[in-house]
Structure 1
Amino acid sequence: MCKVPQPFDAFLVLDVEATCVEGADFQWPNEIIEWPVCLLKWVDKDRSGMAGTLQIVDEFRSFVKPTWRPTLSPFCTKLTGITQAQVDDAPFFPEVMSRFSAFLAKNGLIHPATGERLVRFSWCSDGPFDIRDFVVKQCFISQTAMPHWLQGDVMDVRKVVSAWSDSKQNLSGKKPHFPRRMTPNITAQLGILGLPPFEGRQHSGIDDTRNITRIVIELARRGVSLRPNTHIHLGRRWAWMGKSGQILEEYCLTPYS
């Protein structure tokens, strides 16, 4: 374990699952159907900000009921393992955000009344997609403002692992694990760091989140300074976005619609 300066006090690891249909890509109006988060805090951070050991202090998980297309496709259920009954019984996205806000307040991250951040915390995800794409889409569909505590930059864990791997390979004179145009998925990141294989079911939001959490903990142990490295564009729009949360169906056609 190597202690280095760590500017953030806590980390929220998130890997959402969303509605999908076979043949669609990230341009489709996906709706979030699972919101799982692992909360990490330092065990050994001193007054100078030096730290090296993170631990999970709490978890949050909720399924989310979609509104635009409430019936899951067979492809989506097979991919995520999420059933129709689970989303039918789940709260809508604004209610999940309200419950999650209470979770953050309970853990001392935000003020319970104002939502103001009380400590420096960073979101972490596997790639930039979860908050940059899925949350922005969902806030539009649900006609709700993105909560203040969700706004800000995000640590793309893939980028951190790739940079760490490249630095080690450069020192040894070996070729990088992946071409620069490619980034390693969760399974590959675990292998790069020498961690045991993926635990659980891939594309289960909570299992993906827990495995990303293992990666973040290991990066901290190896002396990587954990900082945001990608941006959220709150005003990002897609062709299917109409007015006031309206989805323009003509932009949502796929070979399997």
Structure 2
Amino acid sequence: MGYWLVIDLEATTEDGGWPVEHMEIIEIGASLVNASGHEIDHFQRFVRPMRRPMLTRFCRQLTHISQAEVDAAAPLPVLWPQFERWLEPYHPRLQGWCSWGDYDRQQLYQECQRHGIASHLQELPHLDLKRRFAEERQLSRPVGLNAALQLAGSSFSGQQHRALSDARNTARLLPLVLVERANTRST
């Protein structure tokens, strides 16, 4: 049985949002799960932003991440090899990785390119779980993570806008999409 990696990123932002190219990762949360959604392992680290090192008030309030936490963290070029070492033993069994929406994939690839970081994730298929959930449920448009959990008969667990909590909640929806995906392929 293979594994899926569910990733959520928190990034610098301001009220009203910034374009992705102006944002920087400040927290990485990853939950490694099997196809039934059972967590095998997890990874969580804060990341020190380099271009805009001071978090906005809006960002601190939204994420509950303090300036001291990111100040004490390593920048992404130092931190990413730690993530890759953590993931390495699981890599042969990885089916792919997913996130709630395409933002996390875009942000990660952009920052890897900016910093010249090689990532094994770029070799794996990415599943936009937000889009797939909407397709499977025949929704008129994709919904937020909270709404999707409610549609699935569940509720959010943990602190919203924290990377590991968001990744774990996203992982709870993965089996629904994978099972429904398998059922549509077999019919």
Q: TM-score, normalised by structure 2?
A: 0.88
> 1:70 maps to which residue?
53
- Corresponding letter in the other structure for 1:35: I
Output the CA distance in 1 between the equivalents of 2:94 and 2:167.
21
Of Structure 1 and Structure 2, which has the larger fraction of its residues in helix? 2
> 1:216 maps to which residue?
174
Instruction: Assess if the C-alpha contact under 8 Å between 2:129 and 2:174 holds in 1.
Output: yes
- Corresponding letter in the other structure for 1:165: R
Cα distance, 1:28 vs. partner?
Answer: 4.3
> 2:125 maps to which residue?
153
Aligned in 2, Cα 1:185/1:59: closer, same or farther, shift over 3 Å? same
The 5 A counterparts of 1:102-251 are 102-105=85-88, 108-110=89-91, 118-131=92-105, 133-141=106-114, 143-166=115-138, 178-179=139-140, 182-194=141-153, 196-220=154-178, 222-225=179-182
Output the CA distance in 2 between the equivalents of 1:27 and 1:58.
29
How far does the alpha carbon of each residue in 1:8-64 deviate from its partner, in whole angstroms, 9 at most, with x for none? 71100011000012233334411000011000125xxxxxxxxxx341110000000
Instruction: Assess if the C-alpha contact under 8 Å between 1:9 and 1:121 holds in 2.
Output: yes
> 1:87 maps to which residue?
70
Aligned in 2, Cα 1:84/1:91: closer, same or farther, shift over 3 Å? same
- Corresponding letter in the other structure for 1:158: K
Which structure 2 residue ranges, 5 or more long, are not aligned?
none
Instruction: Assess if the C-alpha contact under 8 Å between 1:31 and 1:137 holds in 2.
Output: no
Moved over 4 A (4+): none
Structure label with greater radius of gyration: 1
How far does the alpha carbon of each residue in 1:212-249 deviate from its partner, in whole angstroms, 9 at most, with x for none? 011113444x44339xxxxxxxxxxxxxxxxxxxxxxx
| 1:31 and 2:24 are equivalent in the alignment | yes
Output the CA distance in 2 between the equivalents of 1:23 and 1:223.
35
Give the number of equivalent residue pairs.
Answer: 183
- Corresponding letter in the other structure for 2:73: A
Output the CA distance in 1 between the equivalents of 2:20 and 2:73.
25
Output the CA distance in 1 between the equivalents of 2:7 and 2:62.
18
| 1:19 and 2:12 are equivalent in the alignment | yes
Cα distance, 1:67 vs. partner?
Answer: 0.5
Q: TM-score, normalised by structure 1?
A: 0.65
Aligned in 2, Cα 1:223/1:136: closer, same or farther, shift over 3 Å? closer
Output the CA distance in 2 between the equivalents of 1:146 and 1:23.
31
- Corresponding letter in the other structure for 1:60: F
- Corresponding letter in the other structure for 1:55: H
User: Residue 43 of structure 2: which of 60, 79, 82 is its match?
Assistant: 60
> 1:48 maps to which residue?
none
How far does the alpha carbon of each residue in 1:113-169 deviate from its partner, in whole angstroms, 9 at most, with x for none? xxxxx23421110011101x211232244x223313334431111122112212xxx
